[in-house]
Structure 1
Amino acid sequence: MAQGRITSVKNMTAKISKDERIEREKAEKQVETIGIGTPEPVMALNDTELKIFNKYVSLNDSFNTADSTALTLLVKSLYRYTEIDRAIGELDVLDDRRAGLIRQASIYDKAVQQHSKDLSLSLTNRLRMANDMAKVAIEEKKLSNMETPQVQEVNPLFAVLEATKNVK
């Protein structure tokens, strides 16, 4: 739905209605509270993997506990891909084992790409999701306002007009 640059409501310079601001703030809070906390590895990692994991966590503030599994699997796949890549580099070009290692590296490459996609809910994407949620909430409010019966206010000028008709 949302396109272009997405920023938090707090950092917005564009003019938006009070209702839209309230709905966007609620949606941002809802998106932010999903998986509060820092990610923790969901399986045992060796020292090198743990360093990589912590590096990823420190580089992206938007990772939270909900990202723990995808981040752990990404680190495992990256580590294994690197090990296989080193082994390929150490083998002779004509070695028969090289083709099998290249196939394994390709499998881990696909796994890295998949786990990276699982982590694609960066801060920008999360704000986009909050923006979309706010738009839906505003549309729902508009629809509910349209469905409620409108009470016609009596214009005082009409009352004066009616009174002057009755006088004649």
Structure 2
Amino acid sequence: MTSIVRTSGRDCPPELGLGALLTAYHLRTEEEKGTAVTHVDALPARYRAEISDPRSAFADDVVLVAHHEDRSAGCLVVTAPVAGRSEIKRLWTVPELRGHGVASALVGAALSHAAAVGVGTVALSVWSWRTGALALYEKLGFAVVDSWDERDDLVCMERAVLRASTG
């Protein structure tokens, strides 16, 4: 069974394992982009900053960490809303737990959080070669939109959020 811990970025306790999850995410992403990086020190500075100090990097954001059978299984960051829009970043599921619903649970928790705080749209970007992630996002109601990012092979997607009922 997968459980989700939600915390503000600035209050994210180290024992959640976010640093290790971000390390795996960034190392794999660089490898997939064709730049095999074997150590955190070789990552771009902005990624090293997220790994070494996620509390500062995501201070205004919400961090979700999934646990599956008492171990950290994945993570996701929901950015602070700007003009009614938040962004999903850093969705990662440890490879050996893929197919167990971890990513779906994380995205579902992100959408629930967005609805609860009055966000109207959730956006994300994903590399085009991550076909499994693209299929998951489409299944969860995200649609491809015009890119807001100039990087090649990046697919931008959005989804309207149904606001939580107040009564």
TM-score scaled by length of structure 1: 0.26
Task: Using CA pairs under 8 Å that are at least 6 residues apart, name the structure with larger relative contact order, 1 or 2.
Answer: 1
Higher fraction of helix: 1
Higher fraction of strand: 2
TM-score scaled by length of structure 2: 0.26
